[in-house]
């Protein structure tokens, strides 16, 4: 039972290490998506303003 607990602990530590290794790339990708969504919202608002302002 102790050996099994040790193996589970090793697997959890490995998975945490892999996730933390990927965090900078994930944060960068999320910021890129956020920037693209903000740009789309800005374009939608501008197109609504130009169509109702005429």
Q: What φ, ψ does residue 3 adopt, rounded to 5°?
A: -65, -40
DSSP output for 4-54:
HHHHHHHHHHHHHHHHHHHHHHHHHHHHHHHHHHHHHHHHHHHHHHHHHH-
pLDDT of residue 52: 80
pLDDT of residue 53: 66
Task: Give pLDDT tens digits along the chain (54 positions).
Answer: 899 999 999 999 999 999 999 999 999 999 999 999 999 999 999 998 888 865
First to last CA, the chain: 76
pLDDT of residue 17: 95
Overall pTM > 0.85 = no
d(CA 1, CA 20): 29
Q: Which two tokens stand for residue 30?
A: 């999320």
């Amino acid at each position: 039972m102790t050996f099994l607990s040790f193996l589970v602990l090793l697997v959890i530590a490995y998975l945490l290490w892999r996730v933390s290794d990927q965090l900078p790339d994930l944060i960068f990708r999320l910021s890129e998506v956020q920037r693209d969504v903000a740009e789309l919202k800005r374009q939608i608002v501008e197109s609504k303003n130009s169509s109702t302002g005429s």
